Amino acid sequence: MSDCSETLRELETFLDNELDASQREAIREHLGGCMDCLQAFDFHAELRLVISQKCQQDEFPPGLLSKIELCFGEDFDGDGRIG
Ligand SMILES: [Zn+2]
């Protein structure tokens, strides 16, 4: 079983394709029924796409990554909506 905080914690690993089949299934199942996590997942997936494309084109701007991480911290932990 998986709850929101657990799903969000596994999100990066999921996107890296480093989870085993049952873990992936649990997350997919959770995303199917949880709009909050689905949106977070979409956002992360989209962001990865943008970053990977950007990295192929030119230098990744220094400082941007830490700004992104800052945003994630606020979004996921800021007001306690998730969890
Ligand atoms: Zn959730």
pLDDT in tens, 23-38: 999 999 999 999 999 9
Domain holding 30, by residue range, is 4-77
What spacing in Å lies between the alpha carbon of 60 and ligand 1's midpoint? 31
What spacing in Å lies between the alpha carbon of 67 and ligand 1's midpoint? 24
What spacing in Å lies between the alpha carbon of 4 and ligand 1's midpoint? 4
Mean pLDDT value across the chain: 80
Could you tell me if residue 70 is inside a domain? yes
Total domains in the fold of the chain: 1
Could you tell me if residue 41 is inside a domain? yes
The rounded distance, in Å, linking the Cα atoms of 49 and 23 is 23
Q: Where are the beta strands (DSSP E) in 1-83?
A: none
Count each helix (H run) and each strand (E run) in the chain, helices first: 5, 0
Q: Has residue 17 got a pLDDT over 60? A: yes
Could you tell me if residue 82 is inside a domain? no
Q: Has residue 62 got a pLDDT over 60? A: yes
